[in-house]
Structure formats: structure tokens, C-alpha cells
Structure 1
Amino acid sequence: MKIHTVGDVMTDEVVQAHRETPFKDVVRLLDAHRISGVPVVDHDGKVVGVVSGTDLVHGQAARAGGRRDRRYRLPRLPRPGHRAAARVLAATAGELMTTPAITVHPEQPVSDAARVMERHGIERLPVVDEEDRLIGIATRRDLLRVFLRTDEDIRREVTDEILVAAPGLPPAAVVVSVRDGLVTLEGRLEHRTDIAHAVRSTWQVDGVVGVLSRLTFRLDDDRSAGTSSSRGGAHRRTPGQSGQSGQ
């Protein structure tokens, strides 16, 4: 089965900044390339942080507040306040960046990278090699490209995966149809457990958003089912379900 990785979808040409890149130059980079953030790298190309549009807005807001209150003496600030005060003086990417940077490696599955983005609420992930050197960037749009596969591409891969999951199965035993990423499986398999394997394999194909199983079976080899039925009924599975009902 083809597992799409970050390396398959990432962008190789990365807009980046260095620690010493001036505040205004970072703003120009974001505006010129219409992006929401840039990784910050050191002189060895290793990612040391990320500057986002949010960082720049906070920095500018802190500057404005600092200018209004410069005639007053600043009191001692708690730790979060120290960071806000530091932004008043921030003039470079290195002073504005969020660190440590959240990164991924090119061999990681797309699904893993999507979970990282969701967990941290970010839109872009620098892609680094084993030495933390920047080699690409992966955005939400890049990761979502796996779900823009054509229904025909998905159908072909699902068919191949089912044949692997049920060795010896005649190619025409299962009819696979796909519409907008929803896969329908129809046909008759030899064993009840073959159905569970077929459905599970279908879910693992990139681009599949749902599976409707109308598969039946000839022999019930599932002892946990507690029945001796020789035919399986159709039902719709969701990602959280397991097994296959019979009738």
C-alpha cells in the first residue's frame, strides 16, 4: 500500500529568514509571497524558530504600547510580561520568533503531520532532515492534496489492496465503486474475516472519506461472532467501528 508521506507533498523551495533578518524585511517576505509565516534558520541551515504573522502583530502592538508609555518607568514584570516587554525592542526575526520550532521529517505519514498541525493550531510545518536542516515546508493545503485524488485513482488502489488482503480472491469477486471519496464494496468473499480485512485495507487508502460495505461471505470463520451463519449482510462502517455483522 502506498502511504503518502510529508516528502511527497511538501514544497521544496522555502521562503526563510535568519536570526538577523530585520522586522520590516520579514513583513515584506510574508506579503510578497502571500504566506502566513517563515522558518528562521541559523548559518548551518538548521531551523531555530518560526516567525508568523501573529508574532509580527504582537511585536508591533508591543512597540506601539511601549512608545505610548515610554515616559513612565516600567515596573518589574512577571515572566509572561518580560516576553511582552522584550517584543517592544524586537527588531529582528530572531527576537520575534517562536522557539523551539515544531518540525516534521519527510518520511513521516501525512496523517501524522496533520495531527501535529491540529494539536498545535498551526498552518505550516518546516520539514527537516536528520540534522534539523531545513529541506521543505508543508502547509495545510499541501496535506489536504491527498484528499483531492480522483475517484478513479482511489478505486484502483482500493481494488489492489483488497486483493492483497484476501489472497487467492478472483479479481472480479469484489466490485469497488467510489464517489467523492466514499467507497462502496460489493461482492462475495470466502470467509467472514475477509470482510473485516477488506474494509480495514480500504480505510488505509489515502483519500478515502467513508466506506460502505455490502460484502457477503460464504463461510463464517469468526468464532467471536457466536453464530454459524454462512451469509453476511451489508452495512455502513465508520472509522470507529470494527468487525462485520452477519445475517
Structure 2
Amino acid sequence: MTDDVVSARSGTPADDVARWLAEYDINGLPVVDAEDRVIGVVSATDLKRVRRAPAAEAMLTAGAVMSAPARTVRADDSVVRAARLMSTSGVERLPVVDEEARLVGMITRRDVLQIFARPDADIRNEVADEIVVRALWLSPQSVDVVVHDGVVTLSGHVESSGSVALTVWMTRQVDGVTAVINRLTYQHEDPHRQPA
């Protein structure tokens, strides 16, 4: 995310918002309250919509034209969640907030694409070394990791169903992974594992 964010207050004139969008070459910005909590977002589309309205001659403010509530992601959310929210919402950028909904940054579609543009070899090395061997203490020969266009295929044989679930879950968290195909088999069912 970018932590140097242009934001507006509810009373900021819409003309100032329009000028900032042009000046910083962005298509939207968050609107925050006095405690920096995100209360909405003003996009170029919002500004165009209200300027076409008959009452547009009145002094418009960010609060009057913003879309609310704002779609946001938490700083500790995964990049995958941010990407999915951008896709389902049809937005190019999302405010990033802390646990109290205060603005801490902004993530854009470009930021997300840079993560997902990670080379397959780098993803494979991280999964095979950092997850399989170092985190899960599995033999490197027990799990075969193949990556193609960010899709990770895991195959091999491990001790328990719990090891399978954990391997798949941790692999999904790796930056650049777009999907996981699970072809792992296991020796025995883990009695403590909750049914999926």
C-alpha cells in the first residue's frame, strides 16, 4: 500500500477534490472525519454525476458527493482479499484502515498487479523452502511444488489430513499465488481436524 494518501474532509469543497484528482493523477480519494476514520470515498465518477444534476450550482462538498459507506480493507488483510473486493466492487483503489477504521494507506489495482506479477520460480522457491521445509518441517521430497502463472499445484504424500490442510492454507497466503490445486495424499485422518 501507499501510506502517503491524499484525503478530504466532509466539508472540503468538491472543486478542491476535483483539482486534487487532476493534480495527483488519481481517480478517487477517501473522505475522513476528525479522527481520520474513513467515512466515504469521492471518485471522479461521483463528481461528474453531481455536476450534471440540476442543483449542481450550489456549493458542493466532499461529504455531499461521496459514496458511503466506503469499501475498505484492513492493513492486516491479504492482498487476495483486496483484489477480490476491487474486482467485485468495480473500483481501482481501496482505503486501507486500522482496527479502528482510521486511514493508514491506500492500495491500488496497480499495487495488487505488481504482487501477482511475481515470477513463478520465486513463488515455487518460497513454497518449497519457507513453507514445506522450514515452517512445516516436511521432507523436501514429500511435497512436489509446481507453479504456472501463479497457480500452485501441490502433490505428494504427507503424514496427516491436518498437514494437507495446513500446507494448502499457508500456500494460499504467499504473495503472487492466485490459486492452489491440491493433489496431496495423506497417511491418516487427523482426529483434531474440523470437517471442511
Distance 2:27 2:96 in 1: 16
User: Is residue 2:82 matched to residue 1:91?
Assistant: no
Q: TM-score, normalised by structure 1?
A: 0.61
Q: 1:50 to 1:21 in 2, by over 3 A?
A: same
Q: Cα distance, 1:196 vs. partner?
A: 5.0
Distance 1:37 1:212 in 2: 36
Indicate the SS of the match to 2:52.
Answer: helix
> Which residue is equivalent to 1:132?
101
Distance 1:31 1:207 in 2: 31
Distance 1:155 1:124 in 2: 29
Q: Which of 128, 133, 151 is matched with 1:163 structurally?
A: 133
> Which residue is equivalent to 2:71?
102
Q: Which of 27, 42, 48 is matched with 1:57 structurally?
A: 48
Question: Are the aligned partners of 1:159 and 1:176 in contact in 2 as well (CA < 8 Å)?
Answer: yes
* Structure 2 alignment gaps of length 5 or more: 190-196
Q: Cα distance, 1:104 vs. partner?
A: 1.9
Amino acid at match of 2:91: I
User: Is residue 2:93 matched to residue 1:121?
Assistant: no
Distance 2:109 2:10 in 1: 25
Q: Which of 15, 19, 43 is matched with 1:28 structurally?
A: 19
Cα displacement string for residues 79-103 of structure 1 (whole angstroms, at most 9, x for unaligned residues)? xxxxxx5x56352212111122222
Q: Cα distance, 1:61 vs. partner?
A: 0.8
Farther-moved stretch of structure 1 (188-197 vs 92-101): 188-197
| Structure 1 runs, 4 residues or longer, greater than 6 Å off | 212-215
Q: Counterparts of 1:220-235 in structure 2 under 5 Å? A: 221=187
Question: Are the aligned partners of 2:142 and 2:158 in contact in 1 as well (CA < 8 Å)?
Answer: no
Indicate the SS of the match to 2:73.
Answer: coil
> Which residue is equivalent to 1:4?
none
State the number of aligned residues.
187
Cα displacement string for residues 119-152 of structure 1 (whole angstroms, at most 9, x for unaligned residues)? 3332221112233221111122222332122223
Q: TM-score, normalised by structure 2?
A: 0.75
Structure with greater Cα Rg: 1
Distance 1:208 1:54 in 2: 32
Indicate the SS of the match to 2:85.
Answer: helix
Q: Cα distance, 1:212 vs. partner?
A: 6.8
Question: Are the aligned partners of 2:31 and 2:38 in contact in 1 as well (CA < 8 Å)?
Answer: yes
Alignment RMSD (CA, Å): 3.2
Distance 2:22 2:81 in 1: 29
* Structure 1 alignment gaps of length 5 or more: 1-9, 67-84, 224-247
Q: Which has the higher strand share?
A: 2
Distance 2:175 2:105 in 1: 22
Distance 2:34 2:181 in 1: 53
Question: Are the aligned partners of 1:18 and 1:40 in contact in 2 as well (CA < 8 Å)?
Answer: yes
Indicate the SS of the match to 1:38.
Answer: strand
Q: Cα distance, 1:178 vs. partner?
A: 3.6
